[in-house]
Amino acid sequence: MKTWQLGIIGHPLGHTYSPQMHEWAIRHYKWKGSYATKAIAPENFDKEIKMMKEKGTWHGFNVTIPYKERIIPYLDAIDDAAARIGAVNTVLRLADGGWKGFNTDAEGFVAPIHERLKGMHNALMVGAGGAARAVLAGLARHAPHIRLYIKNRTKERAKKLTITMAVAGLPIQTALLDDSPISRFDLIINTTQVGMGAYKDQTPLPRLADLVHANSFVYDLIYNPEETLLLQQARQLGCPFSNGLPMLVEQGSQAFNIWTGRPFPPEIIPDLFEKRTGENS
């Protein structure tokens, strides 16, 4: 019987539901194994990653905040889509001990809103990190007609994101949003940590009411807490909304398939999906 050693690296890791999902799936298939969490402090990242690679204990692992870009120099191969996105959330250990990187966030992001995207014309994305790259790539692939506005704490990083994604040939129009709202958006996406952990009492968009219309869809990639302040505001404004749980399940299922050759068993998904969207959706 196959024994799977899987895991996740990031910092911090207290919010993640990935171990529950992957361990359910391992048990469902009646395999042995586990999905471990390894929190790595930023100052130890390079040393720890080199040690992990030498030991070669894990068959595969996920990469989360803040390392989706920082892991790339340690890979021996990278899937084309992940290379274009410039962020990796899934690593597979190859037969020779080398590491291959993939990105399952882009497709995971799109899955829950795929049907809605056809009727949307513009979107506002907050954040410009690893998850933002995946969102941009997912929209470019499935909804290139949408004009995407980007707002980030560090403006330079947002600018760099639009340039690198344009160089990568992603067919989507992007623009930077300055502090004054210029429009109401069909889709609002939070790709930052604002709303969870130390920032759980904050919202990345305090003036949400000025940015939405009745049918704007508000999508927070955060799933723990289940309903961030941003989503509470969306609920009050009557907008449909979703947290990041459906995305988590979809990206996790695709990662599990990369490692084991099987997707998540559908039986585990309804439980997780119960929490996925708000009453307005």
| Interface residue with ligand NAP, options 103, 192, 203, 277 (CB under 6 A) | 192
Question: Residue 9: which of 137, 135, 99 has the closest Cα?
Answer: 99
Nearer CB in complex with ligand NAP: 127/138: 127
Q: Using the rule CB under 6 A, give the single segment among 20-28, 116-124, 128-136, 270-278 that binds ligand NAP.
A: 128-136
| Interface residue with ligand NAP, options 131, 170, 208, 230 (CB under 6 A) | 131
Nearer CB in complex with ligand NAP: 31/202: 202
Q: Using the rule CB under 6 A, give the single segment among 1-9, 94-102, 113-121, 127-135 that binds ligand NAP.
A: 127-135
| Sole residue written with tokens 């690593």 | 91
User: How far is residue 169 from each of residues 73, 141, 179, measured CA to CA in Å?
Assistant: 22, 11, 28
Q: Which two tokens stand for residue 131?
A: 């998850």
Please indicate whether residue 68 is annotated as part of the active site.
yes
Instruction: Quickly list DSSP for 183-228.
Output: --EEEEEE-SSTTSGGGTT--S-TTGGGTEEEEEEEEES--SSSS-
Residues 206-225 close enough to bind ligand NAP by CB under 6 A: 221-223
Q: Using the rule CB under 6 A, give the single segment among 114-122, 228-236, 242-250, 269-277 that binds ligand NAP.
A: 242-250
- Distance CA(99)–CA(168), nearest Å, equals 23
Nearer CB in complex with ligand NAP: 12/181: 12
Phi/psi of residue 185, nearest 5 degrees: -115, 145
| Interface residue with ligand NAP, options 130, 240, 255, 276 (CB under 6 A) | 130
Q: Which two tokens stand for residue 242?
A: 């979703």
Smallest separation, CB 257 to ligand NAP (Å): 15
> How many helices (H) and strands (E) are present in the chain, helices listed first?
10, 12
Residues that bind ligand NAP (CB under 6 A): 65-66, 68, 105, 108, 127-132, 152-154, 157, 191-194, 196, 199, 221-223, 244, 247-248, 251
| Residues with active-site annotation | 68
